[in-house]
Structure 1
Amino acid sequence: MLKPSFSDLVKNSPILPVLHMESIEEAVHVSRALYKGGITCAEIVLRSPVALDCIKAVRKQVPEMTVGVGTLTTPKQVIDSVAAGAQFLVSPSLTRTLATAMIKTGLPMLPGTVSPSEITQALELGITEVKFFPAEQYGGIKTIKALASVFSQVKFCPTGGVSLDNLGEYFANDSIFAVGGSWMVPKDLIANKDWDAITLLSEQAIAAIHKLGRCA
């Protein structure tokens, strides 16, 4: 397994918020609100022009939060993200070229997979922790159970359609080490700058995971 592992990174709060940030100010306030609610890692996705600047700002202004990058699709994005200070790397997909670039950084990484062929490619590269995305659209926990029965050495982080309502069914499966989602950072709360509400949603998520016995 690659070291450091992604599961080690999120063992204290095995939930990975997916943050689409439109401004540095939002990124800093949201990160503080998440951390206050008990979530210690956050993934800022490359879906806005300021994403890399947001990573830089969170590293500087919210150093207690472990911040990484998501939606990586090219080796250049990997290089740029590391330069911006990303502490972990997440991709929605897996190719040998992209995964190799991610591996070379030495950072915890999570490539996206949904099929046996993609998982086999990950294993050929020494990767045993993968993102399952988009989770609900590809069959959710039922598909993960089927994949885990064949690939028992692989651990999954389902993302896409995961919510407080279905956390239990995901974490009931031992092949799942974390989940990703954005339900604790809804767009309306960010638009209204309701950081306390984001903290409350984060607390609820962590409390639910503790109840399931899945926090270190």
Structure 2
Amino acid sequence: MTGAHVLEPHRVVPVVVLHDAGSAGDLGAALASGGLPVAEVTFRTAAAPDALRTLAERGDLLVGAGTVLTPDQVDIAHDCGARFVVSPGLSADVVRRCQEIGMPVLPGTSTATEIMRALELGVGTVKFFPAEQCGGVGMLKALSAAFPDVRFVPTGGIAADSAAAYLDLPPVLAVGGSWMVPPDLVRQGRWDEVAALCAETVARLPPSP
């Protein structure tokens, strides 16, 4: 069940909140030039679908939809070119819709019970969310000991100086975070600084376990 995952080549996933879809192209260029050609566009704003479509059309980025709460949003994400879906919690309806259309899905989990439900649905890679608030690395070690075949993408409260501790854990596929795409820089269009933060993040990545 662990198998290859669409995120396999990417150890850090920038979590993006865009209020202006018109800035998506510049953001995509900054991510690519900074060496992080992947993005999770959160469905927290009205601009998200158009921003997702713009990023997906570039062709040099792996783009997914985040904060997906309903099967209808799964369909919107798919129509906009998403390659994966991320949800803050575990919705059987969202998971099943993703499975129906062949869309990789990362349901959010923070407890053993939720991980067991994910496994029952046939999902072996899950989001651990909110990671820092739910016990961080220590909690993830405990969960992975109980579920040795599950892979995790911890997200939530992770910063540049804490990402490595998660990535050092063998069951961690990738980490999600927004430290390289801070809202102020994105809003102000300071793309060179975003690209520099991406490059710094890549340079600080620990070796794969």
| TM-score, with structure 2 as normaliser | 0.95
Q: Check the 8 A contact 2:2/2:149 in 1, yes or no.
A: no
Candidates 17, 21, 26, aligned match of 2:23: 26
Separation in 1 of the partners of 2:91 and 2:188? Answer: 39
SS of 2:127's equivalent in the other structure is strand
Moved more, 194-203 or 19-28: 19-28
Secondary structure at the aligned position of 2:152 is classed as: strand
Q: CA RMSD in A?
A: 1.5
CA distance in 2, matches of 1:213, 1:168: 9
Query: Does the CA contact (< 8 Å) of 1:10 and 1:40 recur in 2?
Result: no
Mean Cα deviation higher: 154-163 or 96-105:
96-105
Could you list the runs of 4 or more consecutive aligned residues of structure 1 that deviate by over 4 angstroms after TM superposition? none
Q: How big is each residue's C-alpha offset from its partner over 1:133-167, in whole Å with a ceiling of 9 and x where there is no partner?
A: 11001001111000011000101100011111112
Asked whether 1:192 is paired with 2:188, we answer yes
**How many positions carry a matched residue from both structures?**
209
2: CA distance, partners of 1:50 / 1:25: 9
Q: Does the aligned pair in 1 maintain the 2:2–2:150 contact within 8 Å?
A: no
Deviations 1:22-79 (A, max 9, x none): 112222211110111111210101011111111111222x221111100011111111
Structure 2: unaligned runs, 5 residues or longer: none
> Once the 2 structures are TM-superposed, how far is the Cα of residue 94 of structure 1 from its aligned partner?
0.6
2:164 and 2:79 map into 1 onto residues whose CA distance is: 37
Q: TM-score, normalised by structure 1?
A: 0.92
Does the 8 Å contact 2:154/2:172 carry over to 1?
A: yes
Gaps of 5+ in 1: none
**Secondary structure in structure 2 of the residue aligned to 1:44:** strand
Separation in structure 2 between the aligned mates of residue 2 and residue 109 of structure 1, nearest angstrom: 13
SS of the residue corresponding to residue 103 of structure 2 reads coil
